[in-house]
A and B are shown apart, each in its own frame.
Chain A
Amino acid sequence: MCDSCGCDITPDHSHDPKIVEVHQSLLAANTAMAKKNRAHIEKMGAVAINMISSPGSGKTTLLEKTIEAIGDSLRIGVIEGDIETERDAERIRAKGVPVIQLTTGGACHLDAAQIHKGLHLLEKEPDGDKLDLLVIENVGNLVCPATFDLGEHHRVVLVSVPEGPDKPAKYPKAFTSSQVFIISKTDLLPYFDFPVEEARAEALQLNPKLLVMDLSATSGQGFEQWLDYLKEICRK
């Protein structure tokens, strides 16, 4: 037992204060795992995108229409992240592509360790190891997912027309950490006050390197640019 405090945790510990200089990111473990994931995805011959948005911005619908429209020109695999339920994975599975549902059980974001697990599960699915494009659909949340690198190559942030144009200003991290910003549900523009050019300019002010697209998965408006972008990033 320790003479100084009577504790019995480690008998040989000392009570001299000690200052330890750490200088390590709290995200170091996640970043290291994300790096492994990226290497794993590249070994599979695929390119990965991480889709981030609020709940209900149309990530899953965009994905369904993308799978339909892209046909045989790209082999797509999907990792779905949600707090609960298999519903999104069922919708994607119905389109005939390999898909894994990750349920976080309450956590507001996916992290690299979950994706590591998801990659191994996806490879066990039929054709899950023969992909050109891996799409990770993050938990619907415009805040927390922006902090966690999953090992993706490109990050795509969506805002739908009904949500309003002020999202880049209010949730900057999702926009400063992304490469693509999609304004979705443009078929609803006649019914909502959403100045597309203002939203585009505001997002570019935050991140001048951002590629901004506006599209509607329902009407097909702007879809060509999105499909061309996906084919471009997957070109070997």
Chain B
Amino acid sequence: MHEMSLVQGLLSQLHSLAREHNKTKVISVSMDIGPLSGVVIDSFQFAFDILSDEDPLTHGASLVIESSPATYHCCGCGAKIEEEEKPEACPVCLENLLSPEGGDDIILRQVQME
């Protein structure tokens, strides 16, 4: 549900970038949204499609979303594991003491404008 307000924030950032670089049209936007960010990527895309369409700066712009995996740190043995989904247990010591690190970013990586 908060995807809408995040996209509103994105659009205002795109306006600042366009002013700063003296451009009037955003062609594509690339984002990195981590699996633990609490953002539903489909909802974010949906919100972007609706809101960008209403704005002359972003009308027709494409959105590319990548999702970097999270790292899990085992509080038992100290192992670091990189996985898309949280493993059931630590593959090294087999304990259930995995704590996520990162993977919660919502990063605007790159904007193509003209």
Question: B-contacting residues of A (Cβ < 8 Å)?
Answer: 5, 7, 9-10, 12-27, 29, 107-109, 111, 141, 143-144, 146-148, 172-173, 176-177, 204-209
Number of A-B contacts (CB under 8 A): 101
* Residue among B24, B105, B113 making CB contact with A25, cutoff 8 Å: B105
Task: Number of B interface residues at 8 Å Cβ cutoff, please give it.
Answer: 36
Closest 7 CB pairs of A and B: A144-B2, A173-B38, A147-B38, A26-B106, A208-B75, A17-B114, A108-B1
Contact (A17, B27) CB under 8 Å given A173-B36, A173-B38: yes
Say yes or no for B17: interface residue by CB 8 A criterion.
yes
Contacts of A205 in B (CB 8 A): 96, 98
Please give the distance in Å from A210's CB to the nearest CB on chain B: 10
Name B3-59 residues within 8 Å CB distance of A: 5-6, 9-10, 13, 17, 21-24, 27, 31, 36-39
User: Could you tell me if A25 and B23 are in contact, using CB atoms closer than 8 angstroms?
Assistant: no
User: Could you tell me if A17 and B109 are in contact, using CB atoms closer than 8 angstroms?
Assistant: no
Contact (A20, B111) CB under 8 Å given A10-B22, A13-B24, A26-B106: yes
Contacts of B98 in A (CB 8 A): 205, 208
